[in-house]
Amino acid sequence: MDQHNHAEDEQSFTGEWQTSLVRWSPCGTLWKALCCPCVIYRETAQRLRDPTVPAEKRGSDCVEFGRDFCIGTYAISLKDHRAQIRRRYRIRGSSNNDCLVACCCYACAVMQHDDELKARLAAEGVVVRDGYKAEGPMVMRAQGQGQGQGQMQMPGGQGQGYENGAGASQGPRV
């Protein structure tokens, strides 16, 4: 009975997807979606729960989706994500369509889900956290610059000193 009422509610949805199902760029995201969709799935799952908290690097969502992907039952999880997004933003569609997209176009689906949530949350003013970001690359200063000879600069400002260019380490300088 509850599912019947739920289906009637979905028929009244008038919203549209803001992001396209099929896209070919950026290339890195496409390859990630094709080869390791569990990573994008994990980030989407966390955004559905709480977008202000970054997804865990090796979270259970990724492991479970990876397992489902290997045994061929991944479409169930993708269909559920798609339905959750449609209900939250009152996007037109059906359970059958969700299932068809999840089964036939998993890479496109995980990319669309991720992009849709990012776009919708940004429009709501929610800051989306993507997890750990490196501060920047390490920089090797030329001799005579900085505090010591051959100072290697770490992102946080800490450095490892080297006595000469050959790399004979003298340990950290204080």
Average pLDDT over residues 109-118: 93
Average pLDDT over residues 114-119: 92
Within a domain: residue 129? no
Within a domain: residue 130? no
Same domain, 106 and 159: no
* Closest residue by Cα to residue 173 from 163, 152, 159: 159
Task: Give the chain's mean pLDDT.
Answer: 77
Task: Kindly compute the dihedral angle of the four CA atoms of residues 57, 83, 13, 89, in this order, to the nearest 10 degrees.
Answer: -10
Within a domain: residue 171? no
Same domain, 108 and 152: no
Query: Is pLDDT above 50 for 1?
Result: no
The whole-number pLDDT of residue 111 equals 94
- Which helix (H) or strand (E) segment is 159 a member of? strand 159-160
Q: 146 Cβ partners below 8 Å, 6+ apart?
A: 153, 159
The whole-number pLDDT of residue 163 equals 43
Confidence of residue 164 (pLDDT cuts 50, 70, 90): very low
- Of the listed ranges 18-27, 54-63, 89-98, 128-137, the one predicted with least confidence: 128-137
Within a domain: residue 76? yes
Same domain, 8 and 80: yes
Polymer length of the chain: 174
Q: What residue numbers bound the domain in which 112 lies? A: 2-123
Query: Is pLDDT above 60 for 102?
Result: yes
